[in-house]
Amino acid sequence: MTTFGFIRHGLTRWNAEGRLQGQIDIELSEEGVLQAKALANRLSGEHWDAIVCSDLQRAAVTAKIVGKELGISENCITADSRLRERAFGQLEGTTVAERIVRWGEGWSSLDLDTEQDEHLIERALDFMQWATEHYADQKVLVVSHGGYLALLYKALFADHKDEYLSNTSLTIATLNQTQWTKTLFNCTAHLNT
């Protein structure tokens, strides 16, 4: 049985501002670093074999903070571009208010070069196919992004219901042959201590 711990990266300044990041490489804020440390502390009593993360620094730094606490050497932390957030095209770097000013109230129905759901799901499932083979019968942490993880969860879990994914939220799932089972979803108990 293979176990995955899916983690959304820590908070960034742009998250706090409500600014869409997409694939722009934004660093963690001080609060985001503290969130990652709190998650690392929460996981410190557990055994994880490896970490795979998006190559964008907000996810990569979250992964390194967690890895350091878990005693996972940096050579066991793999950056993978398939874990990047959705490309939001012209929307990247904007807030909702700025989008309304620029494109009007109907901005969300416009073609503004946003990566389509089908492409993102294909990219995510390609990663998961590789990861389930590469890390068979291991415990692996995967650090990625909110939009990416939301679509991945829809693809993996038949019973999935949409829910906002909090920064440094932890979702644990196991794969037993072809059946995915969620044992923890969008948990941020580490932020309440």
Sheet holding 170-176, edge to edge: 77-79, 50-53, 139-144, 2-8, 170-176, 179-187
Catalytic annotation, pick one of 9, 92, 115, 145: 9
Cβ contacts of 40-45, under 8 Å, gap ≥ 24: 40/65, 40/66, 40/68, 40/69, 40/70, 41/69, 41/190, 42/170, 42/189, 42/190, 43/5, 43/69, 43/70, 43/141, 43/170, 44/69, 44/70
117-139 per-position pLDDT tens digit? 999 999 999 999 999 999 999 99
Is 9 labeled as catalytic in the residue annotation? yes
- Consult the annotation and say whether 8 binds a ligand: yes
pTM greater than 0.85:
yes
Q: In the predicted model, what is the mean pLDDT of residues 145-164?
A: 92
What is the set of domains in the chain, with CATH numbers? 2-89+116-192 (3.40.50.1240)
Is 17 labeled as catalytic in the residue annotation? no
